[in-house]
A and B are shown apart, each in its own frame.
Chain A
């Protein structure tokens, strides 16, 4: 492999065409008419160059559910999607609630080499919501955990949530809350509304999310802590986060690609590929989420990539697992829902899919500008491409994508992790 790479005529952040020279692990120069004898040349004419994407919310499933994904297959999927860093959620078996487990995941990520893997630590022991996990030990471990989440479950006890928010201030941590009031969502199968009424599926009301988001922003304000809200899914949650930000409180939020595109109308098929938590909401919610991502109320896009083996989806709705794949389609869905609608330009996409998530996760060397001296974490996108999603080509071990056969724009052609190619011509390096 050449130590120097010259990317020619790339539209940096979607702007004017420029050349970008990579030398080793860093960006050496950005300009026009660059000349680098001996460098490997990538002709990027017309393609969009973005900083490597950063996902705050990925389920890599290892340890414990290697039948659905491993750190290796998950990071390969991430690279194909244009990601150079992912945060691995803690709901593994065993749960990532100790220094030992987070270090194991961190080490597996280093060995994979396809993207950085930053483990997320559980807030409470076993995700049970009763006793704080050893948050400090996870932070002090080699994994250097700064994001803590019981994702999949809500930290519903107000006192435990308050203590967690306070405690992680000692090491600039953040609690990422899966906002779901458990009593209001017993037996919940889909968004509560007109469609659930018709289908007779247990309702997951918007208020079950919004009541927790409201409580948590107030708690975070009270104790002066950082709060991050996972997968915002309702127009009401957007209003609460907007209000919290207007107060100057340190609250951030993410939205998933699927909540930017799909609605609960899909559930009429009873096809469990549309079963996800939080559930797909209404058209009005989708529009509010897009608007909030555009105006910055929602800070970033996070995939909530949730692989499941075939048998957990090839069944009746009630028996199916919740969750859908996201890494390999996220950028295309964002292009489709946000860029092609005029809501975001590519510079803003970089902000919401790279800079902000890296900032929230306090990740060093990720989400950086495309400029001389910065780490060479980059993704090159053929934005003019249009094609049907074909899960058979996925690098993920699972196939539970809701976008099968849907035509989406954009295709990642190249990806660089600290100057080393992870994707070349759309294929894993």
Chain B
């Protein structure tokens, strides 16, 4: 494992499987009366959010707290950032306060990469979503959920599983991270969207592209529905909400054409009636709520593997490899 997690493309198959296996072990904690590990005691994790995202922020916050880290939430709203402070000065401030890890959500693609490579901070950088670039922990939690539902066994990848991702691929960091990670894990990915919402250059991605949803349903082990913003209509990406829902929305009738074992995924928040009907969203085949739970376990695993076993901020840079959670439990 590297010191940072800025892109799903950086993860090898073994890295990814290690994160998923670690997440499984950490998930078992949730069933215990005391849900906390002392692993990251005296370590500081900063949630640096330049974009509103309550869901992702509280997921990272819960993950860090269950590992006993001190958590500082820094949101751009009402901070000096809105007064024009640069990312660099914000980073230097956090560094001076002794952040061991910075979880960053930023509207500009590449901002986490910049933070990790600029030398402004010494701690680990974890990308919690940057512009339309990547959202690697979302892809990891999706892979975690898929593996539980479709494979079951730990230590395994997603070889041969067919995953269909439907929606606004062009503007989706979730899609970009998923294409990278799922293909690394051996899954076969098909993207489905109107041609306007597929990026020019997609030919080089390790996946198939279909402009129609119906032909791929029967061949899917999982169908991941992406949120489609209604505002895209104004830029002529599609004519009307209704036309989008008719051609690319997942309703009960379409879900019935999926194989029996196949699941429906959604990263949330859902636009019910747009990309997904209430009937599908509330069906037992929809994993949206499981994905939220998986998010905490996966983010714990990422924090654990990036920071675990290392010295607190200010100490020499640790080796990336950490002990397994079992060891940590013993020391507790």
A195 part of interface (Cβ distance < 8 Å): yes
B98-125, CB under 8 A of A: which get 1 and which 0?
0000000011111101100110000000
Does A199 sit within 8 A of B, measured CB to CB? yes
Report the count of interface residues on B (CB-CB < 8 A): 27
The verdict on B87 contacting chain A, using a C-beta distance below 8 Å, is: yes
Q: Is the CB of A317 within 8 A of B201?
A: no
Q: Contacts A200-B173, A270-B110, A270-B113: A315 and B88 contacting too (C-beta < 8 A)?
A: yes
B68 within 8 A of A: no
- With a CB–CB cut-off of 8 A, which chain B residues contact A316? 87, 106, 108, 110-111, 114
Chain B residues positioned under 8 Å from A198 (CB to CB): 176, 201, 204-205
Query: What are 5 of the A-B contact pairs (CB < 8 Å)?
Result: A200-B176, A201-B110, A314-B88, A316-B111, A317-B111
- Shortest CB distance B248–A (Å): 20
At the interface, yes or no: B252 with Cβ under 8 Å from chain A?
Answer: no
What residue of chain B has the Cβ atom nearest to residue A190's Cβ? B109
Binds A, one of B129-137, B147-155, B225-233, B301-309: B129-137
Q: B residues within 8 A CB of A195?
A: 201
Please, which residue of chain B has its CB at the minimum distance from the CB of A310? B88
Chain A nearest Cβ from B271, distance in angstroms: 21
Interface residues on chain A, size class: 20 to 34
Residues of A within 8 A of B (CB): 189, 192-201, 203, 205, 269-271, 311, 314-319
A residues in contact with B108, CB < 8 Å: 316-319
CA distance A189 to B202 in the complex (A): 18
Is the CB–CB distance between B199 and A318 below 8 Å? no
Q: Is the CB of A197 within 8 A of B205?
A: yes
Q: Which residues of A lie under 8 Å from residue B131 when comparing CB positions?
A: 200-201, 318
The answer to whether residues A318 and B111 also contact, given A200-B173, A203-B200, A205-B200 and a CB cut-off of 8 A, is: yes
In the assembly, what is the distance between CA of A195 and CA of B117, in Å?
19
Contact of B201 among A197, A269, A311, A315 (CB under 8 A): A197
Known: A311-B86, A315-B88. A197 touches B200 (CB 8 A): yes
Which residues of chain A have C-beta atoms less than 8 A from B107's C-beta? 318
Minimum C-beta distance from A375 to chain B (A): 47
Inter-subunit contact B114/A200 (CB<8 Å): no
Complex interface: chain A residues within 8 A of B111 (CB): 316-318
B200 and A192 within 8 A (CB): yes
A402 vs B205: C-alpha distance in the bound complex, in angstroms? 28
B203 an interface residue at 8 Å Cβ cutoff? yes
Task: Report the minimal beta-carbon distance from B61 to chain A, rounded to whole angstroms.
Answer: 24
Complex interface: chain B residues within 8 A of A269 (CB): 117
